[in-house]
Amino acid sequence: MACHQRSTSLPSLPHPAESNVEQDLQTLKAHVSSPSATIDTICDGLRRLGDLYGCVEAMMCLPSNQAVTQQRKMAEEELDRSLALIDLCNAVQESLVELKTTVQELRLVLKRGDDAAVQLKIESFVRLAKKAHKPLKKTTSKGTAEGCRVVRVMAEARETVVYLLESMLRLLPKQIDGPSASKWSLISNRFQKRKVACEERQLQALEHGMGDLGDGVELLFRRLIQSRVALLNILSS
Which pLDDT score, from 0 to 100, does residue 72 have?
Answer: 75
The answer to whether position 138 is within a domain reads yes
- Over residues 38-84, the pLDDT tens digits come to 999 999 999 999 999 988 888 877 765 556 666 777 888 888 889 99
**Domain count for the chain:** 1
Cβ pair 143, 214 in contact under 8 A: no
Domain enclosing residue 217, as ranges:
18-23+38-173+188-236
The answer to whether position 10 is within a domain reads no
Q: How confident is the model at residue 194 (pLDDT cuts 50, 70, 90)?
A: low
Mean predicted confidence (pLDDT) in 116-132: 89
Cβ pair 167, 32 in contact under 8 A: yes
Which pLDDT score, from 0 to 100, does residue 20 have?
Answer: 79
Which pLDDT score, from 0 to 100, does residue 206 have?
Answer: 92
Nearest alpha carbon to residue 209 among 99, 124, 75: 99
In angstroms, rounded to a whole number, what is the distance separating the alpha carbons of residues 24 and 20? 6
Mean predicted confidence (pLDDT) in 103-128: 87
Amino acid at 219: L
Where is pLDDT greater, at 212 or 62? 212
The answer to whether position 1 is within a domain reads no
Rounded to the nearest 10 degrees, the angle between the axes of helix 39-60 and helix 16-32 is 160
Q: Which percentage of the chain shows pLDDT scores above 70?
A: 76
Q: How confident is the model at residue 29 (pLDDT cuts 50, 70, 90)?
A: confident
Q: How confident is the model at residue 179 (pLDDT cuts 50, 70, 90)?
A: very low
Q: Which percentage of the chain shows pLDDT scores above 90?
A: 30
Which pLDDT score, from 0 to 100, does residue 5 have?
Answer: 34
Which pLDDT score, from 0 to 100, does residue 40 have?
Answer: 93
**What is the torsion angle, in degrees rounded to the nearest 10, for the CA atoms of residue 134, residue 73, residue 235 and residue 147?**
90
CA atoms within 13 A on the CB side of 31: 19
The answer to whether position 181 is within a domain reads no
Cβ pair 61, 150 in contact under 8 A: no
Q: How confident is the model at residue 6 (pLDDT cuts 50, 70, 90)?
A: very low
Q: Write b or e for each residue in 191-222: b if 16 or more Cβ atoms lie within 10 A of its Cβ, otherwise e.
A: eeeeebeebeeebeebbebbebbbebbbbbbe
The answer to whether position 224 is within a domain reads yes
Nearest alpha carbon to residue 54 among 206, 229, 237, 236: 229
The answer to whether position 223 is within a domain reads yes
